[in-house]
C-alpha cells in the first residue's frame, strides 16, 4: 500500500478556507489526475475526478465526498496597523491567542502573523477573564501600520499556519486534519482501485464550503446524480477532555455511522465487508444529523442512499487536530473494497427495511 | 558603532529556538559557552548554572562593569503520566493558560513533539466556550506511543522568523538580552573589564543574578532584558495610557519598576549618551514588573544598577514580536555607553 503520510502532510501545509479552496484544490487535482480518467471543477469549484468502471451500457455510479475546505478567519477592520477578524466556520476562540496564522492579503502577499490577546486594561469589563470573543482579538503582522494599509483589505482571509507535527505512534497533528485526512483516505482508495477492477463509475469529489453551508456536497451530488453516495469525515476521538459516548479510540479502526442520515442498507454492507476483510471498525451513532456532507447528499434531487465512513480525530477544530494515519489508510482500503464489490444488481437490492 | 547584521540575527535565531525553561538552561548555556569561547579571559559555570565570563580591558582606572541577561524562559514541566502518551503539566513562571490550547510544544532534552489540545467545540455547552481554562484541565499529548519523564521541561515549538521590520519568535524575553551581551562581549571596548553574567532562574525569582553579582563584585551593572510593549489599540477607542513601552521607539531605559529604583546616575548617563549619539530611545513607563537589576542592586554592599530593555509584544506567549531596529539601537546605545564609563560616573572611591 502506498505511503499516504507525505501527501497528507502536504495537504495540511496549505490553506483552503471555506470559499477559497483553490490552494488545496490544486494540490489534490495534481495528485488525482493520474489516478482517474478525467478531472474538472464544478460551477462552485468542487473538484470532480471520474474513474470509469468496466461495466457495459449505462453504468451505475458512486460519489465519494471529502470536503477540502477549512475553518478560518476573515479581516473585518484595520485599526492602527492591527487587524480585527471574524470567523469562517466553527472557530473555537480558545485556540486563537498566540496562534500563528497567515494573512492572505488581497495584494497577493501572504503575510505571517500572530493572533494577539490585548490586556484586560484595553478591553471593556464585559470581555471577562475567560476566553475572549473573537471580536476582541487583534492580528499582528509585524508590519508597520502604513505597510498593513497598503497590503491588506477588509475581507481578506486569515488561515492557521502552524506546520504539521508527527507524534509518536503513527499520529499526525496539525490544522485542517478535518478534513484533509479524508481527502487522503479517498486518495488511498483511488490508488487501490488502480489494480482492482470495478464495474461502477467512481466519482471522487473534493467538496467546497462544508464548514459553512455544505454548498459543495449539495451541488456536486445534484450535478453527478450518483446512485449512492458516501461521505468521509472525522468523528470525535477519545482523549483529554473528551470521553463521552460520542468519542472513539484513536488508531483502533474505521467508524461506520448509523442514524437517520445514513441508509441502513449501505451501513450493513459496509459493516459486513469490514468484518469479512478484518478491517477494525466501530459503530458511531447519530440521533438526527451527522453534520457532514452526508446530510446534504441524502436529500439531493429525489434523494440519494448515503453512508458515512469516518475515523477519530482528536482536538477537532483546533490547530492541533490529530489522527492515526493507519485509520486513514483503513478507511481508504474499505472504500476501495466496497467499490469493487458493487455489481449491476446492487442498486435494485437497496431497501430501507430489511 | 558595533557590527550589526545577518550574523547577529542568526545568533538570535539560534538562541530563540533553543528551549531553556527556568532550572534547565542547558541548551542556551551551551550556545553561550560556544559563542564566547575565544573572547573570554576567564569563564566559569557556577553552582547554579550561570555562565560568568570576564574579558579584561587595558590601561589604568578600569571599571568592572557587569552586563546581565537571563538565559531562562517561562515554560512547562511534566508532572504526571496518564498513559498512552498523555501527560499532566504545570507552568514554570508566569504563563496565561489562555495561550496554551491548540499549541505545539517540544518536551525534554530530545525535543519530543507534543500538542496541547482541547475539547472539541462541538461537544461543549455554549457557556463552556468562553469559560476560563485552568492548566489543571489541560494535557500534553505526545501521541499514542509517546514517552516523557516526570520533571521534563517543555517549551513552545515556535520557529524564529524575520518579517518586514520585525522578529517573530518565542522567548525574545530574554534571548535578545543574551544575544546583546554576547555581542557586547565580543566587541567590548578596552577601557573596562567586562563581566558578562548569563543568568539562570530569572523568571522564578532572580536567583542566578544574585549570586552572579556576588561573584563579580562589579563597580556598576546593567541588566539587559526585554520588556512588554503593551502598545495595542484600546477596544473602545480610549487613549492607551499604560503601554509600558512602544515598538519602534528604540531601547527602553528603566527609571523605576516594581522591584527597583534604578540608579539615577546611570539612568541620566544612558540618556545623555543616547542624546549625544543621536540614538532613538524611550523611557519605560514607571510601574510594575522587574528585572535581574533588583537582585544585583542589593547584592553585597550595593551595586549601582540600571536596566535597559528591547521592547516586545505578547510577553510569555508562544509568539512575541520585536523590531530589529530597536535591538540595533539597543546594542548601539550600550556599546557607546560602555566606551564612556569612567570611575567618576558612580563616584568610585568617594562613595
Q: Is A250 within a domain? A: yes
Which residues in chain A have their CB less than 8 angstroms from residue B142's CB? 167-168
Express each pLDDT in A305-348 by its tens digit: 999 999 999 999 999 999 999 999 999 999 999 999 999 999 99
Q: Strand B320-323 to strand B220-228: parallel, antiparallel, or no bridges (unpaired)?
A: unpaired
Judge contact between A62 and A201, C-beta under 8 A.
yes
Which residues in chain A have their CB less than 8 angstroms from residue B319's CB? 98, 100, 114
Contact map slice: B 25-64 vs A, CB within 8 A:
none
Which of these is catalytic: B13, B27, B202, B203?
A: B202
* Distance (Å, whole) CA A179 – CA B254: 51
Q: Considering only CA atoms, which of A62, A124, B256 is closest in space to residue A48? A: A62
Which residues in chain B have their CB less than 8 angstroms from residue A129's CB? 132
**Does one domain contain both A144 and A247?**
no
Q: For residue A354, what pLDDT is reported?
A: 84
CB contact under 8 Å between A322 and B230, yes or no, is no
Q: Considering only CA atoms, which of B292, B258, B266, B92 is closest in space to residue B181? A: B292
**Does one domain contain both A95 and A244?**
no
**Residue to test with chain A: of B86, B137, B144, B228, most A Cβ within 10 A:** B144
**Does one domain contain both A62 and A84?**
no
CB contact under 8 Å between A242 and B119, yes or no, is yes
Other CB atoms within 10 A of residue B334 CB: 23
Which residues in chain A have their CB less than 8 angstroms from residue B113's CB? 165-167, 173
Closest partner residue to B236 (CB to CB) among A124, A163, A171 is A124
Q: For residue B348, what pLDDT is reported?
A: 67
**Does one domain contain both A134 and A199?**
no
> Å from A210 to nearest chain B CA?
15
Active site includes B202?
yes
User: What residue segments make up the domains of chain B, in order of their start?
Assistant: 6-73+170-346, 75-156
Fold of B6-73+170-346: Aminopeptidase (3.40.630)
Range of the domain at A119: 72-160
Here the CATH number for the domain that contains residue A60 is 3.40.630.10
Percent of chain A with pLDDT over 90: 97
A79 touches chain B (CB under 8 A): yes
Q: Considering only CA atoms, which of A104, A33, A106, A32 is closest in space to residue A72? A: A104
Q: For residue B129, what pLDDT is reported?
A: 86
B226 touches chain A (CB under 8 A): no
Closest partner residue to A131 (CB to CB) among B116, B130, B242 is B130
pLDDT in tens, chain B (351 residues): 889 999 999 999 999 999 999 999 999 999 999 999 999 999 999 999 999 999 999 988 999 999 999 999 999 999 999 999 999 999 999 999 999 999 999 999 999 999 999 999 999 988 888 888 899 999 999 999 999 999 999 999 999 999 999 999 999 999 999 999 999 999 999 999 999 999 999 999 999 999 999 999 999 999 999 999 999 999 999 999 999 999 999 999 999 999 999 999 999 999 999 999 999 999 999 999 999 999 999 999 999 999 999 999 999 999 999 999 999 999 999 999 999 999 999 986 443
Which residues in chain A have their CB less than 8 angstroms from residue B314's CB? 98, 114, 116-117, 140
Q: Is domain B75-156 classified as CATH 2.40.10.10?
A: no
Q: For residue B347, what pLDDT is reported?
A: 83
**Does one domain contain both A211 and A319?**
yes
Domain count, chain A: 2
Q: Considering only CA atoms, which of A343, A284, A310, A320 is closest in space to residue A62? A: A343
Name the 3-class secondary structure at A199.
coil
Judge contact between A48 and A39, C-beta under 8 A.
yes
**What per-residue string of b and e applies to B90-125 under the rule 16 or more CB within 10 Å gives b?**
ebbbebbbbbbbbbbbbbbeebbbbbbbbbbbeebe
CB contact under 8 Å between B144 and A118, yes or no, is no
* Distance (Å, whole) CA B54 – CA B213: 13
> Å from B204 to nearest chain A CA?
22
A86 touches chain B (CB under 8 A): no
CB contact under 8 Å between A236 and B240, yes or no, is no
Here the CATH number for the domain that contains residue A110 is 2.40.30.40
A196 touches chain B (CB under 8 A): no
Cα-Cα end-to-end distance for chain A:
35
Q: For residue A325, what pLDDT is reported?
A: 98
Ranges of residues in chain A whose predicted pLDDT is under 70? 1-2
Closest partner residue to A92 (CB to CB) among B118, B137, B321 is B118
A78 touches chain B (CB under 8 A): no
Which residues in chain A have their CB less than 8 angstroms from residue B91's CB? none
Cα-Cα end-to-end distance for chain B:
32
Q: Is A167 within a domain? A: no
Judge contact between B234 and B240, C-beta under 8 A.
yes
**Does one domain contain both A239 and A90?**
no
Does ipTM surpass 0.85 in this model?
Answer: yes
Cα dihedral A180, B133, B258, B54 sign: negative
CB contact under 8 Å between B168 and A114, yes or no, is yes
**Does one domain contain both A201 and A321?**
yes
Judge contact between A94 and A177, C-beta under 8 A.
no
Q: For residue B126, what pLDDT is reported?
A: 85
Size of interface A-B (CB pairs under 8 A): 211
A323 touches chain B (CB under 8 A): no
A92 touches chain B (CB under 8 A): yes
CB contact under 8 Å between A244 and B129, yes or no, is no
Judge contact between B105 and B56, C-beta under 8 A.
no
**Does one domain contain both A149 and A183?**
no
Q: For residue B192, what pLDDT is reported?
A: 97
A250 touches chain B (CB under 8 A): yes
Contact map slice: B 87-116 vs A, CB within 8 A:
96, 98-99, 101-104, 112-116
* Distance (Å, whole) CA B311 – CA B225: 9
**Does one domain contain both A212 and A313?**
yes
* Distance (Å, whole) CA A101 – CA B92: 26
Name the 3-class secondary structure at B283.
strand
- Nearest-Cα residue of chain B relative to residue A97: B99
Judge contact between A47 and A28, C-beta under 8 A.
yes
**Does one domain contain both A51 and A79?**
no
Closest partner residue to B98 (CB to CB) among A92, A117, A173 is A117
Q: For residue B350, what pLDDT is reported?
A: 40
pTM for this entry: 0.95
**DSSP-assigned letters across all residues of B102-131:** TEEEEETTTTEEEEE----GGGS-GGGGGP
Q: Considering only CA atoms, which of A279, A251, A294 is closest in space to residue A338? A: A279
Judge contact between B65 and B194, C-beta under 8 A.
yes
**Does one domain contain both A182 and A93?**
no
Cell of A309: 465512513
Name the 3-class secondary structure at B163.
strand
**What per-residue string of b and e applies to A72-85 under the rule 16 or more CB within 10 Å gives b?**
bbbbeebbebbbbb
Amino acid at each position: 500500500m502506498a505511503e499516504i503520510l507525505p501527501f497528507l502532510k502536504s495537504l495540511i501545509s496549505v490553506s483552503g478556507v471555506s470559499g477559497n479552496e483553490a490552494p488545496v484544490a490544486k494540490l489534490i487535482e495534481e495528485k488525482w489526475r493520474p489516478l482517474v480518467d478525467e478531472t474538472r471543477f464544478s460551477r462552485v469549484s468542487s473538484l470532480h475526478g471520474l474513474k470509469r468502471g468496466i461495466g457495459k451500457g449505462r453504468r451505475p455510479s458512486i460519489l465519494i465526498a471529502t470536503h477540502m475546505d477549512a475553518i478560518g478567519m476573515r479581516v473585518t477592520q484595520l485599526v492602527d496597523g492591527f487587524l480585527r477578524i471574524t470567523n469562517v466556520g466553527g472557530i473555537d476562540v480558545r485556540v486563537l491567542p498566540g496562534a500563528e496564522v497567515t494573512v492572505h492579503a488581497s495584494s497577493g502577499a501572504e503575510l505571517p502573523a500572530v493572533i494577539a490577546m490585548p490586556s484586560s486594561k484595553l478591553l471593556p469589563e464585559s470581555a471577562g477573564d475567560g476566553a475572549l470573543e473573537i471580536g476582541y482579538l487583534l492580528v499582528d503582522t509585524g508590519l508597520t501600520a502604513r505597510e498593513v494599509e497598503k497590503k491588506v483589505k477588509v475581507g481578506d482571509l486569515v488561515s492557521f499556519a502552524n506546520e504539521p507535527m508527527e507524534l509518536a505512534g503513527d499520529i499526525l497533528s496539525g490544522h485542517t486534519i478535518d478534513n484533509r485526512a479524508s481527502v487522503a483516505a479517498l486518495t488511498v482508495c483511488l490508488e487501490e482501485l488502480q489494480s482492482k477492477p470495478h464495474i461502477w463509475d467512481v466519482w471522487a469529489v473534493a467538496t467546497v464550503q462544508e464548514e459553512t453551508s455544505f454548498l459543495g456536497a449539495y451541488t456536486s451530488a445534484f450535478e453527478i446524480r450518483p446512485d449512492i453516495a458516501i461521505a468521509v469525515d472525522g468523528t470525535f476521538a477519545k482523549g483529554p477532555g473528551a470521553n463521552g459516548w460520542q468519542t472513539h479510540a484513536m488508531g483502533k479502526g474505521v467508524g461506520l455511522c448509523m442514524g437517520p442520515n445514513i441508509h441502513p442498507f449501505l451501513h450493513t454492507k459496509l459493516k459486513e465487508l469490514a468484518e469479512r476483510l478484518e478491517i477494525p471498525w466501530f459503530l458511531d451513532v447519530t440521533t438526527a444529523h451527522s453534520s457532514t456532507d452526508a446530510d446534504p447528499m441524502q436529500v439531493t434531487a429525489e434523494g440519494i442512499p448515503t453512508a458515512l465512513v469516518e475515523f477519530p480525530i482528536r482536538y477537532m477544530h483546533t490547530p492541533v487536530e490529530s489522527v492515526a494515519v493507519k485509520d486513514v489508510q483503513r478507511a481508504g482500503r474499505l472504500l476501495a473494497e466496497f467499490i469493487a464489490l458493487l455489481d449491476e444488481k446492487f442498486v435494485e437490492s437497496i431497501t430501507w427495511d430489511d | 558603532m558595533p557590527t550589526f547584521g545577518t550574523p547577529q540575527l542568526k545568533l538570535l535565531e539560534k538562541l530563540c529556538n533553543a528551549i531553556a525553561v527556568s532550572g534547565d538552561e542547558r541548551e542556551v548555556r551551551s550556545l553561550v559557552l560556544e559563542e564566547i569561547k575565544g573572547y573570554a579571559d576567564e569563564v566559569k559555570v557556577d553552582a547554579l548554572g550561570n555562565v560568568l565570563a570576564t574579558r579584561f580591558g587595558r590601561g589604568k582606572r578600569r571599571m568592572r562593569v557587569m552586563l546581565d541577561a537571563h538565559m531562562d524562559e517561562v515554560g512547562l514541566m511534566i508532572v504526571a503520566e496518564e498513559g498512552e502518551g498523555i501527560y499532566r503539566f504545570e507552568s514554570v513562571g508566569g504563563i496565561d493558560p489562555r495561550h496554551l490550547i491548540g499549541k505545539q510544544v517540544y518536551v525534554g532534552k530530545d525535543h519530543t513533539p507534543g500538542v496541547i489540545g482541547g475539547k472539541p467545540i462541538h461537544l461543549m455547552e455554549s457557556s463552556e466556550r468562553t469559560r476560563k481554562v485552568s492548566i489543571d484541565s489541560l494535557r500534553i499529548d505526545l501521541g499514542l506511543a509517546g514517552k516523557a519523564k516526570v520533571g521534563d521541561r517543555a517549551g513552545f515549538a515556535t520557529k524564529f522568523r524575520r518579517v518586514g521590520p520585525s522578529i517573530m519568535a518565542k522567548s525574545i524575553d530574554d534571548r535578545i538580552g543574551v544575544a546583546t551581551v554576547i555581542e557586547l562581549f565580543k566587541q567590548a571596548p578596552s577601557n573596562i573589564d567586562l563581566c558578562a553574567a548569563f543568568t539562570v532562574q530569572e523568571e522564578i525569582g532572580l536567583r542566578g543574578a544574585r549570586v552572579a553579582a556576588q561573584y563579580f563584585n562589579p563597580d556598576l551593572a546593567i541588566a539587559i532584558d526585554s520588556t512588554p510593549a503593551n502598545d495595542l489599540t484600546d477596544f473602545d477607542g480610549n487613549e492607551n495610557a499604560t503601554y509600558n513601552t512602544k515598538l519602534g521607539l528604540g531601547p527602553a531605559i528603566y527609571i523605576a519598576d516594581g522591584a527597583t529604583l534604578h540608579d539615577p546616575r546611570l539612568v541620566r548617563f544612558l540618556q545623555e549618551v543616547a542624546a549625544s549619539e543621536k540614538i532613538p530611545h524611550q523611557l519605560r513607563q514607571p510601574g510594575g514588573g522587574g528585572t535581574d537589576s533588583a537582585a544585583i542592586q542589593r547584592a553585597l554592599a550595593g551595586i549601582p544598577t540600571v536596566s535597559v530593555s528591547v521592547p516586545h509584544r505578547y510577553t510569555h506567549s508562544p509568539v512575541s514580536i520585536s523590531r530589529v531596529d530597536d535591538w540595533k539601537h539597543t546594542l548601539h546605545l550600550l556599546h557607546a555607553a560602555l566606551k564612556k564609563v569612567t570611575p567618576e560616573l558612580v563616584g568610585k572611591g568617594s562613595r
